[in-house]
Amino acid sequence: MKARLAWLLVPLALLWGCQDETAQDTATAASLPEAPAYTEQYVLSPQVSDDRRLQEPGQKARDAKGGLELLAANMEAQAVQIGDIELTIHETKLLQYTPDYSLIDFYHSYTHDQEFELAKFFVEIHNTSSEEMNFAPVALVETESGEVKTWEDDVYLESLNEGLKPGEVKSGNVGFILEDGAQELKLTTSKLFAADGELLAPAQSMAIKLD
């Protein structure tokens, strides 16, 4: 009888544990600030958890795609002009990310770690000209330790590197898995090209410190 009672208590304990974890997640979400206005039109990534309400180090969020913790950030917008392209880096974040099990196959092409640090930028690109142009907002990222990532390592895959029509505005995330973390990131854009391949402007770089 006692043995049977013990087995009955096991699923109840697991249920209580799950309920307690859900309650903690709900309380954490309720304490987070609202998402910034510049992300209002953003379509959530199918392979990365929603980090929009994480704005201070230590804040955490969890959804069906996994769990995130904000390790460091620079929430000050930085703007740069590349020819007729206006590029704004609205925010830069370093996140600790534990993807849901359902995403393991996707991330195996980037890393075999089950959790990792993710450097990400929320960018806005505006083609102010009357001509179609080709431009990538983040072609290269380098950390202060010398770790380098290229646009091919981006995990968000939001088509921000495709051609820009006259007057078009695009916004979204670009993100890279880092092996050694970072306190400062050097971002380099691509060169700016016309639709016919003519070089219009050189690439530009900017250093972004994380707090």
Tell me the three-class secondary structure of the chain, residue by residue: CHHHHHHHHHHHHHHHHHHHHHHHHHHHHHHCCCCCHHHCCCCCCCCCCCCCCCCCCCCEEEECCEEEEEEEEECCCEEEEECCEEEEEEEEEEEEEEECHHHHHHHCCCCCCCCEEEEEEEEEEEECCCCCEECCCCCEEEECCCCEEEHHHCCCCCCCCCCECCCCEEEEEEEEEECCCCCEEEEECCCEEECCCCEEECCCEEEEECC
Report the pLDDT value the prediction gives residue 29, as an integer from 0 to 100: 64
Answer yes or no: is pLDDT of 20 > 80.
no
Which tokens hold the place of 23?
């309650």
Report the pLDDT value the prediction gives residue 12, as an integer from 0 to 100: 44
Report the pLDDT value the prediction gives residue 175, as an integer from 0 to 100: 98
Q: State how far Cα 183 lies from the chain centre.
A: 16
User: Which pLDDT band holds residue 24 (cuts at 50, 70, 90)?
Assistant: very low
Report the pLDDT value the prediction gives residue 132, as an integer from 0 to 100: 98
Residues in the chain: 211
The CATH number of domain 32-209, selected from 1.20.120, 2.60.40, 1.10.3430, 2.40.128: 2.60.40
User: Which pLDDT band holds residue 7 (cuts at 50, 70, 90)?
Assistant: very low
Report the pLDDT value the prediction gives residue 23, as an integer from 0 to 100: 41
Residue 172 and residue 122 in contact, taking contact as beta carbons nearer than 8 Å: yes
- In this predicted model, what pLDDT tens digit does every residue of 184-208 receive, in sequence order? 999 999 999 999 999 999 999 999 9
- State the pairing for strand pair 133-134/116-127: unpaired
Answer yes or no: is pLDDT of 133 > 90.
yes
Look up the pTM and report it. 0.86
- 119: which strand partners? 94, 176
Answer yes or no: is pLDDT of 77 > 50.
yes
Q: How many CB atoms lie within 10 A of CB 120?
A: 23
